[in-house]
Amino acid sequence: MPTFVYTSRCVGCGDCVDICPSDIMHFTKDRKTVNVEPDACWECMNCVKVCARFAIDVRSYADFVPMGHSISVFRDEKSQKVYWRIKYRNGKVKEFAFPIRTTPWGSIKPPQELPEPDPQDLYTPLLSSEKENTIKIEVSRK
Amino acid sequence: MTKVSYVDSDILIIGGGMAGTGAAWEARYWGRNLKIVLVEKANIDRSGAVAMGLSAINTYLGLKYNENTIEDYVNYVKTDLMGVVREDLVYDYSRHVDSTVYLFDEWGLPIFKDENGRYVREGRWQIMIHGESYKPIVAEAAKKSVSEIYNRVMITHLLKDSQNPNRVAGAIGFNVRDGRVYVFRSKAVIVSAGGGSQIYRPRSTSEGKGRTWYPHWSSGSSYGMLIEAGAVMTMMEARFSVPRYKDGYGPVGAWQLMLKAKQTNAYGQDPFSLHKEELKKLYDGKFKYVDAFPTPTNLRVYSSLLELKQGRGPIYLHTEQVLTEKNEELGWEDFLDMTITQAILWAGQNIDPIKTPSEVLPSEPYVMGSHATECGAWASGPEDMVIKEAKSVDERGTSYNWGYNRMSTLDGLFLAGDACGASPHKFSSGSFTEGRIAAKSAVRYIKEHSDENVSPDSSQVEQLTVRIFEPIERHNRNKRMITGGKVSSNMMWYEQGMARLQKLMDEYAGGWGSWYTTNEHMLLRAQELLTYLKEDFLNYAVAEDYHQLLRTWELWHRILTAEAVVNHMLFRKETRWPGYYVRSDFPALDDDNWRVFVNSKYDAKTGAWKLWSVPVVDLR
């Protein structure tokens, strides 16, 4: 049971159902969520990171990982950091924090807001931003 | 009653991973007024191979600072693949890959920088990133670029034009949550639906089966769709295995390249030095691959395998010799950004990497085209590097160019990422770049074919709409016959089909269980068992709900991918990459006869495969 849900904390918002790349977080009949296919779980922890209620946890694959470990993660888009806490079977703890992004979320300028390319450039190997940044594209060695 | 939605577009992008997001960005840049639609079976924010994150960008040349030349890069890739790559395709993505990395930097991907603002090198071609949010960042760019996104819609088949059977006119699939059928009609289609894991039996077992190196959701769908549509495929025999930390599949790149950790057998010896002379006898070829620096990945893997086979395992990666309290964060981030299980495994096994080495083991084989191998469809090369031009549609499978960069042998169908064959070592940045290249080419294609009136063949759409739901219908018809569990004489669930596929591929087509070794007899047996599996899929596959239906169609894509792999392995009568697999009946590398691409085409009506070889053309 790679990721699992503490049902008392789950409010049925569905954020984990929405994000799971493997399509294995599903709603139960009483609108809690459940990992329906633990053996198709990659332990990517996207469901854990997205859950605002901290209702999802990981107990790693029991068939090769000894019990007694734990891992917690808090991904914060305000401080732009992801915080990790790893607890060993023997009780030792490791803590780390890493940056996740250097610009505000939503700040990417879409391609349609960039100046329109010269129509003739469609017939060259140039890709977007390469002309402006004078990226050198060596053409053909033949 | 099946509900059907029709969606019209100019460009349809199938799969929103690294290649698909790159395609979305570039399609909008060149096609300001086009309707661009992206369809993704999961959620684009966290989908594809980078769904968890990534700790490095493996392809950045640094041309601006003269760190490398394109020629050096092409030579490196070609040597790593033992002389068989499309130099034109590799040259083409590598000349653009730096500009992709600069876009990521501008968008906010945290890249390690030194005091002068230059990227910190992990290795000659690799740079380090804080990549936990790599995918949501590129997804933001893609979401702003496209006209519409359809998340949770799995494409099962490509659709052909009603007039021209060599022209792709769209794709069909279903929403994995509500079962609605989507018929996408499009002037151009880009396939970027990823590579294939879980085709060979994974080393992991039971509850841990989902822990493979490439994710479970890389279901070989690019290949399945392309094969069934009749696109020419290439190098499907080059399925490969990667050396990774045992069980957790943690990456070894930063540990070996940046931290300089060494791999040894149980007795502290370097496997490669022990076997170097022996390897030279069989695998040196015309280009002296064994002496090359860096040593081709597959030769390193092979020497580890020889050590394991001779009982001198485990193979250790000596983290304890290089890791200290000061630099340990780097090692841990490598895992936490992209393979969290490895960190948990260390916690569960009380392994402190500062004190203890960890085991490394070659993985089960994967079928893919973006990492250190080159499975995929055969593509037209860049327009400014014409090597051999096709004079007719029939000549495309033996030529390098037919007008549009990254177009498959089918008109209007473009390839990027794992879908594009003979174009290895793209990794994340190169796949995004190839998506950009394919999309620009698709925009030009639409412009030059604006007078064409394409529409999917309506009888094909009708047939497929019924066929997609057959597994659910079959279950409804027969479910009263089940007395318990999943035992029924006329029903096959996807888990059962997957197990059969993985067992036969492992045992007969060079999986880990047969020490990556096979021969003609074993491959013929694999072929026979695959035929039964295919027949059983058509007659007995069942699904109880839409989630199982998703898995069932993923299985179909995996079966077709496996069939291509087996046919290609049968055709190549040599051992090109001994660390990936050995043909025991042809154990040596044979540059005189086999430094060629193996190409194939499948006929979906008869189930017949046609295979042939195409000479490798060197640009030098």
- Which domains are delineated in chain B? 246-362 (3.90.700.10), 458-589 (1.20.58.100)
A17-71 pLDDT tens trace:
999 999 999 999 999 999 999 999 999 999 999 999 999 999 999 999 999 999 9
Question: Are B332 and A103 in contact (CB < 8 Å)?
Answer: no
- Cβ neighbours of B132 in A, within 8 Å: 75, 82, 98, 100
Is residue B334 annotated as a catalytic residue, yes or no? yes
Q: What is the pLDDT of residue A134?
A: 58
Handedness of CA B510, B512, B514, B517 (dihedral sign): positive
B620, B488, B308, B442: which is closest to B20 by C-alpha? B442
Question: Are B619 and A82 in contact (CB < 8 Å)?
Answer: no
Locus of tokens 């049925």: A12
Q: What is the pLDDT of residue B619?
A: 85
Locus of tokens 């639409």: B446
Q: Distance from A106 to chain B by nearest Cα, in Å? A: 7
Question: Are B347 and A88 in contact (CB < 8 Å)?
Answer: yes
Strands B4-14 and B181-191 come out as parallel
Classified as helix, coil or strand, B336 is helix
Strands (E), B356-484: 358-362, 376-377, 413-415
- B557: number of CA atoms within 13 Å, CB side? 30
Q: Distance from A66 to chain B by nearest Cα, in Å? A: 5
Residue A137 pLDDT level (bands cut at 50, 70, 90): low
A74-97 pLDDT tens trace:
999 999 999 999 999 999 999 999
A97-109 pLDDT tens trace:
999 999 999 999 9
Q: What is the pLDDT of residue B620?
A: 67
Q: Distance from A3 to chain B by nearest Cα, in Å? A: 11
Q: Which residues pair with A73 in a beta bridge?
A: A84
How far apart are alpha carbons B523 and A116 in whole angstroms?
A: 54
Classified as helix, coil or strand, B222 is helix
Question: Are B102 and A133 in contact (CB < 8 Å)?
Answer: yes
Is residue B577 annotated as a catalytic residue, yes or no? no
Q: Which chain B residue has its CA at the smallest distance from A84's CA? A: B336
For residue B485, count CB atoms less than 10 angstroms from its CB and return exposed for 0-12, middle for 13-18, buried for 19 or more: exposed
How far apart are alpha carbons B253 and B359 in whole angstroms?
A: 15
Q: Which residues pair with B185 in a beta bridge?
A: B8, B170
Classified as helix, coil or strand, B317 is strand
Give the global pTM.
0.98
Nearest CB among B207, B208, B347 relative to A89 is that of B347
Question: Are B110 and A75 in contact (CB < 8 Å)?
Answer: no
pLDDT at A142 over 50: no
Which of B46, B112, B448 has the most A C-beta neighbours within 10 Å, making it the best mutation to test the interface with A? Answer: B46
Which residues in B316-336 are b (16+ Cβ under 10 Å) and which e? Answer: bbbbbebbeeeebebbbbbbb
Residues of A serving a catalytic function are: 42
Tokens of B143: 């979401």
Set B58, B145, B204, B429: catalytic member? B58
Contact B156, B468 (CB under 8 A): yes
Angstrom distances, CA of residue B459 to CA of B160, B161, B167, B466: 10, 11, 16, 11
How far apart are alpha carbons B371 and B354 in whole angstroms?
A: 29
The set of residues, in sequence order, having a beta carbon less than 8 Å from that of B610 and lying 6+ positions away, is B600, B601, B603
Q: Which helix (H) or strand (E) holds B474?
A: helix B458-478
Q: Which residues pair with B155 in a beta bridge?
A: B173
Q: Which chain B residue has its CA at the smallest distance from A87's CA? A: B347
Q: Enter the CATH code of domain A3-99.
A: 3.30.70.20
Taking every pair of Cα atoms in chain A, the longest distance, rounded to a whole number of angstroms, is: 67
Q: What ipTM, to 2 d.p.?
A: 0.96
- Cβ neighbours of B447 in A, within 8 Å: 122
pLDDT < 70 regions, chain B: 1, 620
Contact A62, B331 (CB under 8 A): no
Which of A3, A127, A130, A138 has the most B C-beta neighbours within 10 Å, making it the best mutation to test the interface with B? Answer: A127
How far apart are alpha carbons B584 and B109 in whole angstroms?
A: 46
Q: What is the pLDDT of residue A141?
A: 45
Helices (H), B249-339: 253, 271-283, 297-309, 328-338
Interface size A-B, in CB pairs within 8 Å, comes to 246
Q: Distance from A58 to chain B by nearest Cα, in Å? A: 9
Locus of tokens 């910190």: B120
A113 DSSP 8-state letter: G
